[in-house]
């Protein structure tokens, strides 16, 4: 399955918009990037790097933003059609941003986002 970079970016933006309302307002100092694939793990769909909100403590000032990276080619490679790609992008974006909120993989699996 293949879509243009612009269309893929829009899928990611639409997926971020799923986290709206009070929860979305809690996102703090996090940036979302799209890259083709992880340099060492080509099957990786997304990656969260940062300090979750639940662990920040004396946070503030000059910290770099948390970073969520979504891997475009890896997601396109695993999907057979556009509907599947839309679903997998949504799951991946929500999964990685959940880590920003301090939700671990076990809890995400319990919630159906694993």
The CATH number of residue 35's host domain is 3.30.2010.20
Domain for residue 58, yes or no? no
Domain for residue 57, yes or no? no
Q: Report the number of distinct structural domains present in the chain.
A: 1
What is the rounded distance in angstroms from the CA atom of residue 69 to the CA atom of residue 72? Answer: 9
* Domain, as residue range, for 25: 5-52+65-110
Domain for residue 47, yes or no? yes
Domain for residue 36, yes or no? yes
**pLDDT value at 29 more than 90:** no
Domain for residue 10, yes or no? yes
Domain for residue 59, yes or no? no
Domain for residue 77, yes or no? yes
Mean pLDDT for all residues in the chain = 90
Taking residues 51-55, report their average pLDDT: 88
Q: What is the full DSSP assignment across 41-109?
A: -TT--EEEES--GGG-SS--SSPPPEEEEEEHHHHHHH-SSHHHHHHHHHHHHHHHHHHHTT--HHHHH
Taking residues 70-77, report their average pLDDT: 98
Domain for residue 82, yes or no? yes
């Amino acid at each position: 399955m293949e879509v243009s970079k612009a269309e893929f970016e829009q899928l990611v933006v639409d997926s971020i918009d799923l986290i709206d309302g009070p929860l979305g307002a809690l996102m703090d100092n996090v940036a979302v990037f799209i890259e083709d694939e992880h340099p060492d793990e080509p099957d990786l769909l997304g990656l969260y790097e940062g300090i979750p909100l639940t662990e920040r403590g004396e946070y503030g000032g000059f910290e770099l933003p948390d970073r969520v990276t979504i891997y475009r080619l890896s997601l396109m490679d695993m999907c057979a059609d556009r509907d599947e790609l839309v679903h997998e992008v949504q799951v991946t974006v929500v999964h990685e941003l959940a880590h920003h909120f301090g939700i671990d993989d076990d809890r995400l699996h319990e919630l159906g986002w694993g």
